[in-house]
Structure 1
Amino acid sequence: MKKAILKAFRGTMSDKIATAKEFLVDIEKRFVKNEKAEIGTLLTSLISMRYRSKGNIREYILEMSHLTSKLKVLKLELSEDLLVHLVLISLPAQFNQFKVSYNCQKGTWSLNELISHYVQEDERLKQDCNALQN
């Protein structure tokens, strides 16, 4: 059995492992630890993301959503409300007026509503910038 296992895994096997079932249990334990590391990496990426006013804001927000989907697969589910707030926090000062407007409203937005409003705001900001340049 040991000859059929990749060398990378063979070196990590205990000599006490005699059956394939024991080997699979041992490997599974090692990947649980990796899941914790992956969760940490994904959370760090999500929390440290910043929109740099380059590229499509919709794609940026969807990338944040994609990271939360990966966390959900790893059994760490973040609410949509939390994701909306993380997006708000990650945007630059040029969106401060928009953030204040959102915070003054009674209700909350879904992620899709947030994307829609931000795309409109981003277009408005680009038009204002173009008008100033002309």
Structure 2
Amino acid sequence: MAKCYILASISNVLYHQMQDVGLASDIMLSLKEMFAKQGRSTRQETMRQIYNTKMAKGTLVREHCLRMISNLNTLEVLGADDDGASQVDMILHSLPESFKEFKLNYNMSKKIYSLSELMNELVATKGILGTSSVDANMAEASTSQPKSKDKGVPGDQKVE
């Protein structure tokens, strides 16, 4: 039954080469030998992409994490043996300086995240960072405006 599924799912050229092979395990071994080198170069290219990826300014955290998770999943399918902690470290390495406190807290607390938990925490953190920077900008703007229009108080002049 497994042999039928394998033969049905491969290209016609491979089908004709493999139809006389007796066991499904022999077919799989033959296919692995044929495509192992291609998998190695693809794995190396995917690893290069992961290590060189940095979150671009203006990119949503969720989009960046999903792209990184997709690359990590591809790497896993290609036979790389990375544990969950290493994958989390790779994503954290790709984040900008604005996540420095998150990284520090992660390292100090020694919390273990799945990739989806990490993504949700980063989105929440970015929301907090975004809100606090907006609040800081609003506070700065409100303090730069004069609070009273009394002419007799020194230093309380309107600057245009």
- Do the two structures share a fold, i.e. TM-score over 0.5? yes
How far is the alpha carbon of 1:56 from its aligned partner?
Answer: 1.9
How far is the alpha carbon of 1:30 from its aligned partner?
Answer: 5.7
Which amino acid is 1:72 matched to? E
Kindly report which structure 2 residues correspond to 1:42-61, keeping only aligned pairs within 5 A, or say none.
42-61=46-65
Measured in 2, the distance between the counterparts of 1:45 and 1:82 equals 15
From the superposition, tell whether residues 28 and 107 of structure 1 become closer, same or farther in structure 2 (CA, over 3 Å).
Answer: closer
Which amino acid is 2:37 matched to? K
**Aligned match for 2:42, one of 38, 48, 57:** 38
TM-score by length of 2: 0.61
TM-score by length of 1: 0.72
RMSD: 2.7
Equivalent in the alignment of 1:15:
none
Which amino acid is 2:80 matched to? L
Measured in 2, the distance between the counterparts of 1:91 and 1:68 equals 15
How far is the alpha carbon of 1:132 from its aligned partner?
Answer: 3.7
How far is the alpha carbon of 1:126 from its aligned partner?
Answer: 1.2
Unaligned runs of 5+ in 1: 7-19
Show CA shifts across 1:56-79 (max 9, x none). 212211211111111122121322
Show CA shifts across 1:32-84 (max 9, x none). 32211111110000111111242221221121111111112212132221111
Kindly report which structure 2 residues correspond to 1:80-119, keeping only aligned pairs within 5 A, or say none.
80-119=84-123
Larger Rg: 2
Q: What is the SS of the residue equivalent to 2:112?
A: coil
- Number of residue pairs matched by the alignment: 116
Measured in 1, the distance between the counterparts of 2:97 and 2:88 equals 17
Unaligned runs of 5+ in 2: 1-11, 19-29, 139-160
Q: Percent identity?
A: 23
From the superposition, tell whether residues 88 and 35 of structure 1 become closer, same or farther in structure 2 (CA, over 3 Å).
Answer: same
Bigger relative contact order, structure 1 or 2, given CA contacts below 8 A and separation 6+?
1
Q: Does the CA contact (< 8 Å) of 1:68 and 1:77 recur in 2?
A: no
Q: What is the SS of the residue equivalent to 2:123?
A: helix
Moved segments of 4+, more than 3 Å: 26-31
Q: Does the CA contact (< 8 Å) of 1:72 and 1:78 recur in 2?
A: yes
